[in-house]
Chain A
């Protein structure tokens, strides 16, 4: 029976895209310099240490409810994920997921679904993330011709942290993945940066946009959650009033995406909504 299984890792049809044809990584990122960086003219923070994508298959972003994201982001994918301040090139062993499929035993009955769309009730095994949960009933992506329902299988992958300065105000995570020839869809990206302040800066707000869902922490405290099938918009979700303390502050985030062009942008705004610039990014 096992031999009959036809495994398909990285099951999204688009993951089969020709990564060699993608624009190079250096169009979007450059290695971080040793000198401290500053926010750009609009206050966006461009220096981040980014972990290669953790694969976590989702065929639709409509499952990204608050509850789903809180549950997904509370799981441990790699050791010390909520405390480590990674260095460039540092490796971690991360818990990833891949979809495994088996061939369809028979053609779908006429009218049971569209072309390439196997019929399966919501909540049935393999019905996809969110089945029976908050996102139950989410539309399914078309599957592979002749393939059956997918099952998710855990794997352990060795992933590398990359410390980059983005050439754009935002951080094109999709291009990080494609540039490193990694999986681009159904993925989760972790990001960390260190902000140094000369004095306490009170009543600032963390302003984040992300494609798709994401969660961000400042010095270990949750600051914002971006839920839903979300596109990246600058200053989309804003935290409560925070304090950037004198010395080092750690900003940590995680972005999750199904079939989307992952990216994020982040800056801090003062009480008047003006960007905070008088900080250093290490």
Chain B
């Protein structure tokens, strides 16, 4: 009986195992393989050594990613908190509005920002009517970061919001009861208890921000190459799979390190913030 059911379980799991092997493990293997070989397939460390030429891009990617993540958090947390305190109808409507842009194509949304930010774009046109500007906004670092924030903000709001709505109301009352004013309630109870949501929000914004390649091309005008753009170019234009693979590998390691550092600060909890 025991044997049969475990066989059955294995049978049911087999498609997923095959999928994982084919689309997760195998690509990883190829990334590692390419990273440590040359065009002829011989082992080499040249690709890794070549990375020193890209230090600036790595630093920029991580800096932009961090800035975007921090700003997302600063916008998302108060928003999610206020939302979680609102009436049921307000909550439903706002969540719908947050999700709505996600139903539209990412590329189209980024293109729209180009139209908005251009020197002769909509924003400058409106400002011009008011006698201000024009401001040069497109093709700046700020525009790239704005694009990241705009695209990834929902991924920060949703996990924080969902953990805040589940927060036991009596915990807040208990804190008030023990003498906390509103500020202390938030500082000493609400924020610590919502850390799992914050952590998953940070993860879900930081990782795609660091590795994005499209936003920087369209809103940065090519002047703010990020690591994602560089990797894309190696595969699409330079056909240097080996260098592209080593860049990807290092990016992956860097993200893992960043995540590990962050989790060290918040690991004392059982987590459970990964929702959506």
Note whether A and B form a binding pair. Answer: no
